[in-house]
């Protein structure tokens, strides 16, 4: 019994501290952008900075008004982009309401 308990603790402990698996849907940004443009007719619709550690990434939304398809990417400073999500029936709502500028 004690042997099973120690073995289980070691296995779960190693799984808990293991480094995250590298994303399998990543490629150089220029390759991803070319594929989205040529294969799906998508163009950059919006983007924003996502602060992460150790470095921040740019979250990009690519979409096509003709097909309604969209793709969400994380673009890293090293030039790699990773596919986060994709789908159909993309629509826009309009400009977001921004909080008032505290400096004014």
Give the start-to-end residue ranges of the domains of the chain: 24-87
pLDDT tens per residue, the chain (104 residues)? 545 545 444 444 444 444 444 446 899 999 999 999 999 999 999 999 988 788 899 999 999 999 999 999 999 999 999 999 999 999 888 777 777 777 66
Task: Count CB neighbours of 73 within 10 A.
Answer: 26
pLDDT at 100: 75
Contacts of 59 (CB under 8 A, 6+ apart): 47, 48, 49, 50, 72, 73, 74, 75, 84
pLDDT at 69: 94
pLDDT at 101: 72
């Amino acid at each position: 019994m004690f042997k099973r308990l120690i073995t289980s603790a070691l296995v779960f402990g190693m799984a808990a501290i293991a480094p995250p698996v590298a994303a399998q849907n990543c490629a150089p940004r220029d390759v991803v952008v070319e594929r989205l443009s040529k294969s799906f007719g998508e163009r950059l619709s919006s983007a924003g900075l996502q602060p992460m550690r150790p470095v921040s990434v740019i979250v990009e939304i690519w979409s096509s008004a003709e097909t309604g398809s969209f793709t969400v990417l994380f673009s890293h400073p090293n030039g790699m982009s990773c596919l986060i999500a994709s789908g159909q029936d993309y629509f826009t709502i309009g400009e977001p309401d921004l909080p008032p500028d505290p400096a004014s």
